Amino acid sequence: MPKIAILIYSVDNTIAKLAENEKKGIEIAGGEAEIFQVPDINYKSDLEQEEEGGKARKTNADFPYKIVTRETLVEHDYYLLGIPTKFGNFPAEWKNFWDSNTGGLWAKGSLHGKIAGLFVSGAISGKGDTEMCIMNAMSTLVHHGIIYIPLGYKNAYKELTNIDDVNGSCAWGAGCVSGVDGDRPPSVSELKVHQLQGKTFYERIKDL
């Protein structure tokens, strides 16, 4: 069975909730996935904090997910990346993880040929910032030789073309409009698209 890692950074419940729906879609299709959390920039392991006399803490918004490491990337062949848009790009924590942890993997070609999809959240309605975020993220994937699978329109045409309901998804990947203060929860329509992305992603890779 394909080993799928859902890699997220979430400072509130939005990306985490979207990730759970991506995972549910994978499970509906008969697959399995595990969610991993990108570390904070100032993240220290429990052991490091104990050695410094500090109290160990969980990362980001205190989610229970494991911290993603270089080994996580190597051990899994398939990824779904959950990214909260920051000015149309990776937030600093995502960029720091890739820049500071994967140079050696890039030099060895360790991630070449692995397969990924992306899902995002953005503050405002309109797909420019979230689409740009995915495009910018693809630069990192391309440099590692990671193959990108877009959401497309085929399986979520109704939701993507419904102009009567706000939906942050696009052909590049499932999405969510979270509001300027991050207080808008994902809509039923948006959660459905994330499940559809997880389901179709697994159906695409299961026989590879």
Q: Residue 105: its pLDDT value, please?
A: 96
Residues 6+ apart with CB under 8 A from 146: 79, 111, 112, 113, 114, 115, 116
Q: Tell me the pLDDT tens digit for each residue of 80-122.
A: 999 998 888 888 889 999 998 899 999 999 999 999 999 999 8
Q: Tell me the pLDDT tens digit for each residue of 5-17.
A: 999 998 778 899 9
pLDDT at residue 187 tops 70: yes
Q: Residue 89: its pLDDT value, please?
A: 85
In three-state secondary structure terms, 118 is strand
SS (H, E, C) 7-62: EECCCCHHHHHHHHHHHHHHHHCCCCEEEEECCCCCCCCHHHHHHCCCCCCCCCCC
Q: Tell me the pLDDT tens digit for each residue of 161-186.
A: 888 888 889 999 999 998 777 678 89
Q: Residue 198 and residue 71: Cα distance in Å, rounded?
A: 23
Q: Find the farthest-apart pair of alpha carbons in the chain and give their distance in angstroms, rounded.
A: 55
Going through 53-167 in order, the beta strands assigned E by DSSP cover 66-67, 78-84, 115-122, 147-148
Q: Residue 163: its pLDDT value, please?
A: 80
Q: Residue 24: its pLDDT value, please?
A: 97
The class level of CATH for 4-205 reads alpha beta
Domain boundaries, the chain: 4-205
- For helices 188-205 and 13-28, what crossing angle results, to 10°? 50
pLDDT at residue 58 tops 50: no
Q: What is the DSSP letter of 67?
A: E
**Does residue 206 or residue 166 have the better pLDDT?**
206
The share of the chain scoring above pLDDT 90, in percent, equals 57
Q: Are 69 and 101 in contact (CB under 8 A)?
A: yes
